[in-house]
A = this chain, B = another copy of it.
Amino acid sequence: MGNKVGIVGIGMTKFGEHWNKGLRELIVEAGLKAVHDANLTGEEIQAIYGGCMAPGLFVGQEHISALIADHVGLGGIPSTRVEAACASGGLALRQAYLAVRSGRLNVVVAGGVEKMTDVPTNLATVALMGAGDEEWEGFYGATFPGLYALMARRHMYEFGTTREQLAMVAVKNHHNGAMNPSAQFQYEITVDKVLKSAPVADPLTLLDCSPITDGAASVILASEEKAKKIAKETGKEIIWIASSGQASDTLALHDRDSLCKTKAAVLAGKEAYQQAGIKPGDIGFAEVHDCFTIAEIMAIEGLGFCNFGEGGKITENGETAVNGRIPVNTSGGLKAKGHPIGATGIAQAIEATLQLRGEAGGRQVKNPKYGLTHNVGGSGATCVVHIFTNEY
């Protein structure tokens, strides 16, 4: 099955509106924090995988891979950008994981970044719509909130999910985000506030939607031998990547069998559970892709934390709270932590590392053994799932 792969260093910028920082400053800050966390020198790093969605549209810069290697000062090493819309970060993590797992390399960085402010709002909407089907959705005026609103309406119709249950996802995630010093929104909200916030795409209001965010995040992966050597020096617990799953679905929403069952998540989750030899019930906490509140509900159903149609109910029952049966988005999720597209999948891995190291502060889950991350591209056309553990 390949070699063991451990996380030995993590680093991220605060997520938020960084009016005084550009793409490269964000990258350097997150990269150096991770290198320091692992107590490494640059010469030990052998390759970089970076996730970024639309830097060409946001800041006129493609070729981010070379920019990262150059500006973090890592010189001639191979550097590769991967992109799958909002799943770009998770996909970068997966490529780095596979490179170490293959036995070919023993220290690899996976990073992610997006600089989204300082552009006109309509450009951001156009750029983000590039994650869906431009010819069959974007061209006809569909936006991402619009696509997720369709899914929400269908979910309400099919399963009786209530408007309030959607809002409760945002309330829970803001509650958690208030305890996360890296989060964009560190304050609580109420169901009433969500319902009364500005409508975006009915039934979704502003507070059902993840924000526009600047940010970068990076993790350092190492082979078993190297990880143990590094951990001896840093004194930090190695967090192992137990498995990685990736799957695809149709790009356009209308081509799917169901509007509210996410095929790619089901497939990627199944692959990850199988590889790790565990079941959904073994997962101690999960970071899932709540770009909109309905997305979290569909995610926890697709990943098997409850039956299809019950995602709203278990949210209402408090089962996904930090102290619940299956804590979901203890970091605040995309909703409260923020969603700098390319960085999101890596930030999820950082939350998993913090939780499994026992360094999550006020939002710490009690003695988790396995954590799961779920990163989605577009309206579900790409899904990447990773499982992490501190027991191996």
Interface positions of A (Cβ within 8 A of B): 2, 22, 24, 53-57, 59-67, 69-71, 74-85, 91, 95, 98-99, 101-104, 126-127, 129-135, 138, 246-252, 255, 263-264, 267, 377-378, 381-382
Contacts and interface: CB of A to CB of B under 8 A. Distances in A.
B102 A22 contact: no
Contacts of A130: 55-56, 60-63
A36 to B, nearest CB: 22
B76 A247 contact: yes
Residue among A76, A78, A85, A91 facing the most chain B CB atoms (10 A cut-off): A78
13 contacts: A24-B135, A65-B248, A66-B251, A66-B382, A67-B251, A70-B250, A70-B252, A71-B251, A75-B248, A80-B84, A80-B95, A98-B98, A98-B102
Copies of this chain, whole number: 2
A70 to B, nearest CB: 5
A134 B60 contact: yes
Given A70-B251, A81-B83, A247-B77, A54 B62 contact: yes
B247 A78 contact: yes
Contacts of A71: 251
Contacts of A98: 98-99, 102, 104
Contacts of A55: 130
| Chain A interface helix/strand/loop/mixed | mixed
A68 to B, nearest CB: 9
A171 B102 CA distance: 44
A63 B135 contact: no
Contacts of A133: 61, 67
Contact of A57 (B56, B74, B95, B252): B56
A63 B378 contact: yes
Contacts of A127: 56, 62
Given A63-B83, A131-B62, A76 B251 contact: no
Nearest to A63: B85
Residue among A57, A133, A248, A250 facing the most chain B CB atoms (10 A cut-off): A248
List the 5 closest pairs (A to B, CB-CB), nearest first: A66-B381, A102-B102, A62-B130, A78-B246, A61-B134
A82 B247 CA distance: 16
A238 to B, nearest CB: 22
Contact of A104 (B2, B56, B76, B138): B2
B84 A381 contact: no
Given A70-B248, A80-B95, A57 B57 contact: yes
A83 B65 contact: yes
A60 B122 CA distance: 13
Contacts of A66: 84-85, 248-251, 377-378, 381-382
Given A65-B248, A78-B248, 8 more contacts: A62-B127, A63-B84, A70-B248, A76-B264, A77-B248, A80-B82, A80-B95, A102-B102
